[in-house]
Structure 1
Amino acid sequence: MTSLIYPTYFPNITHFWTVVNADSVYFEVCDNYQKQSFRNRTEIYAANGKLALTVPVSYSQKNRQLYKDVKIANEEPWQIQHLKSLQSAYSMSPFFEYYLDELMPLFEKEFNYILDLNLKCFDVLLNSLQLDLSPVHTTTFEKEPVNKIDFRHLAQRKFEAPTLQPYTQVFTEKHGFIPNLSILDVLFNEGPNTELYLKRQDLTLV
């Protein structure tokens, strides 16, 4: 399977499922940026339930911009806030400390563009899961992709994910199982079993 996806900020489970189950992956980097998507947003399981972490960007709907040209609004201390939220949400998870060192550069280095940040997120995740995969960047935008399965719709927040098998989450006893959060939720709770968990899912996403 050759998957065509958007690189997003710590992608959710269904999004990352397309990576683990692909023979090759293409990153769509030639499109116009769209607001209200997971390009600059991820969702985690915090003490009070689902929590959205959003990277602030400088973007105006009036002036269309390419995804690769959209800058991060680094005037806001978003990296500190996101790291604190992750620590609060997952410090009691089995594998948080195990992966924290690999993740820290994402919160210590200043990124100017949201695409660059998202590409680095994918690099870190692939390394953490020891996945031997080298995504290819698109060179032109194809509305109807050829020889690729189009999963670009998974970056839309309105996409309704299919049923996922439950796994143990830190606050399950408080709020029950919350599906399709950031892949970080699986990583911190399942650790090295994350890839096996993803491959067990029988999903229809197209």
Structure 2
Amino acid sequence: MNIILHPTYFPNIAHFVALVNAEEVTFEMDDNFLKQTYRSRAYIYAANGKLLLNIPVIHSQKNRQKYRDVKISHDTNWQSLHWKSLLSAYSTSPFFEFYKDELEPLFKLQANFILDYNLKCFEVVCDCLQLDLNTTKTKTYQQQIEDKTDFRYLVNAKMEEPQFEPYTQVFSNKYGFINNLSILDLLFNEGPNTLNYLKSQTLKTP
């Protein structure tokens, strides 16, 4: 199966279920940037439940701005905050120490553009998973896709979430299983079993 989807910030489990079951992955590079999507946000499982990690961006005065042109705002030390949140949430998870050294440099990387940063984060996660994907990038935007399964809808953070099988999470004894979090939640809790879990899950095609 050939698929197309958006590069997002530490993609959620739905994105990775689509990715691991694909023969070829095409990243949408030419769409407009929309607020309140997974392009700039990820959710993790913290001590008080579901926690949003949001990348601040510099919004253009224009009505529409291409995703690839959107710059990250470095007015606040958001990367340090995100890393501290991950430390607080997952330092006691089974595999945090195993992946920490690969992931920590991402939170010191001074990227200008959010799309570039998201792609770098994706690359590092794939290294952690030892996942070798055949990826390409779009050169123009097409609303209708005929030769690929279109998973671009997964970028919408307001849509009804696909449901996946529960796995053990750090604070599940407090708040139960929280579905479809960032791939980091699965990685820190399942470690080398992450790929097996992803391949065992199903995702409805749009």
Alignment partners' CA distance in 1, 2:9 and 2:15? 11
Alignment partners' CA distance in 2, 1:153 and 1:88? 31
Alignment partners' CA distance in 2, 1:127 and 1:205? 27
Residue 150 of structure 1: how far off its partner (Å)? 0.5
Q: Does 1:202 align with 2:195?
A: no
Q: Does 1:171 align with 2:174?
A: no
Equivalent position of 2:112 in the other structure: 112
CA gap 1:112/1:53 in 2 versus in 1, 3 angstroms:
same
Q: How many residues align?
A: 206
Alignment partners' CA distance in 2, 1:166 and 1:109? 33
**More off after superposition, 156-165 vs 35-44:** 156-165
Residue 108 of structure 1: how far off its partner (Å)? 1.1
Alignment partners' CA distance in 2, 1:34 and 1:60? 12
For 1:1-206, what aligned pairs fall within 5 Å after superposition?
1-60=1-60, 62-206=62-206
Q: After TM superposition, where is structure 1 displaced by more than 4 Å over at least 4 residues in a row? A: none
TM-score, with normalisation over the residues of structure 1?
0.97
**One-letter identity of the residue aligned with 2:100:** L
Alignment partners' CA distance in 2, 1:123 and 1:51? 23
Alignment partners' CA distance in 1, 2:140 and 2:62? 23
Asked if the contact 2:3–2:24 (Cα under 8 Å) also holds between the matched residues in 1, the reply is yes
Unaligned runs of 5+ in 1: none
Residue 16 of structure 1: how far off its partner (Å)? 1.2
**One-letter identity of the residue aligned with 1:20:** V
Unaligned runs of 5+ in 2: none
- The superposition leaves residues 58-86 of structure 1 with CA deviations (integer Å, 9 ceiling, x where unpaired) of 01474311100000001110000000000
Aligned CA-pair RMSD: 1.0
Alignment partners' CA distance in 2, 1:19 and 1:115? 18
Alignment partners' CA distance in 2, 1:37 and 1:61? 19
**One-letter identity of the residue aligned with 1:193:** N
Asked if the contact 2:44–2:50 (Cα under 8 Å) also holds between the matched residues in 1, the reply is yes
**One-letter identity of the residue aligned with 2:131:** L
**More off after superposition, 79-88 vs 14-23:** 14-23
Alignment partners' CA distance in 2, 1:81 and 1:97? 19
